[in-house]
Structure 1
Amino acid sequence: MSAIRLNNLDIAYGDTKVVHGVNLDIAEGESFALVGESGSGKSTILRAIAGLAPDWTGEIAVLARPRSHAIERAVARQVQMVFQDPYGSLHPRKTIDAVLSEPLEINSIGNRGDRVEAMLQAVGLDRRFRFRFPHQLSGGQRQRVAIARALMLEPKVLLLDEPTSALDVSVQAEILNLLKRLRREQGLTYLLVTHNLPVVSFLCDRLAVMRHGRIVEVADVALLKRGDLAEPYSRELLAATQGRASLTV
C-alpha cells in the first residue's frame, strides 16, 4: 500500500506558484528523500501533506485516504512532522512532560505518565528529563524530544524537515542512528527533506531531486552511492558534496 501518494500537486503562496505538477508514490515502510537547493519546494510539499500549506491543487493521499485542505485529526494521528530547528519547535515555557502529554490530551488518550516515560526511553532519554524545560537540554536532546512528541500518537508516517541540519556533526550521527532504529522497530514510513546527500545515503531507500518546484529525477539510493544519477542537475548536486567530510554514523 502507498503511504503517501501525490498526483499533479501544485502549491502556491498567494499568486506565486512554488510547486509544479509533482507526482510521487511512496510505499508503506519506505524511507524517501526530497533533495535540492533551498527554495526548490521540498519543505512546502511536507507542509501541504501535514495540512500546513492549504493553497494547493491536485491530489494528496495518506495511507490510501485522500486528504482535504483542512487540518484533519484523523490524518494528524497517522502523519506527524519533525521540524528543522529543535530550539524553535518546543514551547520554551512548557516542561517536556507537558510537551509530550499535549497530543494525548487533545486526543483524549489516557495513561499519560506511563506513555511519556516509555517514549522518552524509546528516544534515549531517561525519566529525569521529564520535568525539565527545553532550555535545560542540549540541541540533540531537544531534537530527541521533538521526535518523541511526533511519535506520541503512534503515527505510521513521519515527515522529517532537515531534522539534523541545526545540530553538530557528532550529534547528527546520533539522531540519524535513532531515526534508523525507530523506523525498524515501529515500521515507520519516512519522507525526509534535506540537502545533505550523505544523510540520504544512510537513511533512505529512494530519492527525488527537485529544482524550481519540479521533480527532475527519482532514483534508488544505490545509484546515488555509485554516483550514477541520470540528470545533469542531479550530478551537479552530487559533485557539490564530493570532497566534503563524510557523515560519521
Structure 2
Amino acid sequence: MTAISLKSLTISYGGIPAVHDVSLEIGDGESFALVGESGSGKSTVLRAIAGLAPEWSGEISVLGAPRGHGPDRAFARTCQMVFQDPYGSLHPRKTVDSVLSEPLVVHGISERSGRVSEALEMVGLGQEFRFRFPHQLSGGQRQRVAIARALMLKPRIMLLDEPTSALDVSVQAEILNLLKRLRRDQGLTYLMVTHNLPVVAFMCDRMAVMNAGRVVETAPSSALRTGDFSDPYARHLYAASGGDEIAPKDGQ
C-alpha cells in the first residue's frame, strides 16, 4: 500500500515557484528521506503535505485519500509533523501535560491522563516531566515532548523536518535511536527531511535528492555505501559528505 503519493507537485510562495513537478511514491511502513542543500525545497514539500503551504498544484494523497489545501482534522489523525526547532515548537507558557493533552481536547478524545502518561513513557520521559514548562527541559527533552505530541493521535505517518539538527551532537543519536524504535514498535511510516546523509544511512530505506526545487534522483539508502548515483549533483552531495565513510553503525 502507498502511504504518501505526490504527482506533479508544484509549490509556490507569492506566485513564485519553490518546488517544481515533484512525483514520489512512499510505501506504507517505509522510512523515506528528502535530502539536499538548504533552499532545495525539502521542507516546503513537507509543509504542503501537512497543509501549511496552501499554494500548490498537482496531487497529494495520503493512504489513498486525496489531500486538500489547508488544515484537515481527519488528516491530523493519520499524519503528524515533528518540527526542526524544539525551542520554537512548544508553547513556553504551557506545561508538558497541557501540550500533550491539547490534540486530545481538539479531537474530543477521552482518557487523556492515561494517554499522556503512555506517550511520555514511549519517548523515554518519566512522569516527573509532566508538569514542567519547556524552559525547564533540555533541548533533547523538548524534542522528546514534541515527538510525544505527534504520537498523541496515534498517526500512521510522521513527517520529520530535520528532527535533530537543532540539538547537540551528543543528544542527536539518542533521538535518532528513539525514532527508529518508535517506527519499529508502532509500525510508522516516516518522511524525513535532512541535509545529513549519515542520518539517512542510519534511518531510511530510500531517499530522493532535491536540487533547486526538483527531485534529481531517487535511490536506495544503500547507495550511500556504494556511491552508486547517476545524477551529477547527487554524486557531488555524496562526495561532499565523506563518500563511503558516511554510514554510521547502529547505536552511534
- Alignment TM-score, normalising by the size of structure 2: 0.96
Q: Distance in 2 between matches of 1:161 and 1:226?
A: 26
2:55 is aligned with 1:61:
no
> What is the root-mean-square deviation in Å for CA atoms of aligned residues?
1.3
- Alignment TM-score, normalising by the size of structure 1: 0.98
Equivalent residues in 2 for 1:94-173, closer than 5 Å: 94-173=94-173
Q: Where do 5+ consecutive residues of structure 2 fail to align?
A: none
Q: Distance in 2 between matches of 1:7 and 1:107?
A: 30
Letter in 1 for 2:44: T
- 1:219 corresponds to: 219
1:232 shift after superposition: 1.1
- 1:189 corresponds to: 189
2:35 is aligned with 1:35:
yes
1:245 shift after superposition: 8.5
Q: Secondary structure of the equivalent of 1:89?
A: coil
Q: Distance in 1 between matches of 2:178 and 2:145?
A: 12
Q: Distance in 2 between matches of 1:66 and 1:222?
A: 31
Q: Secondary structure of the equivalent of 1:146?
A: helix
Q: Distance in 2 between matches of 1:169 and 1:230?
A: 31
- 1:3 corresponds to: 3
Q: Distance in 2 between matches of 1:44 and 1:129?
A: 33
Q: Distance in 1 between matches of 2:39 and 2:106?
A: 34
- 1:210 corresponds to: 210
Letter in 1 for 2:21: G
Q: Distance in 2 between matches of 1:76 and 1:42?
A: 21
8 A contact 2:9–2:19 mirrored in 1: yes
Q: Distance in 1 between matches of 2:148 and 2:2?
A: 24
1:102 shift after superposition: 0.1
Q: Deviations over 1:89-129 (max 9, x none)?
A: 00000000000000000001011011101100000001000
- 2:44 corresponds to: 44
Q: Secondary structure of the equivalent of 2:143?
A: helix
Q: Distance in 1 between matches of 2:45 and 2:97?
A: 30
Letter in 2 for 1:120: L
Q: Distance in 2 between matches of 1:136 and 1:71?
A: 31
The alignment of Structure 1 onto Structure 2 pairs a total of residues equal to: 249
Q: Distance in 2 between matches of 1:45 and 1:122?
A: 28
Q: Distance in 2 between matches of 1:200 and 1:246?
A: 8
1:70 shift after superposition: 2.5
192-201 vs 65-74, which moves further: 65-74
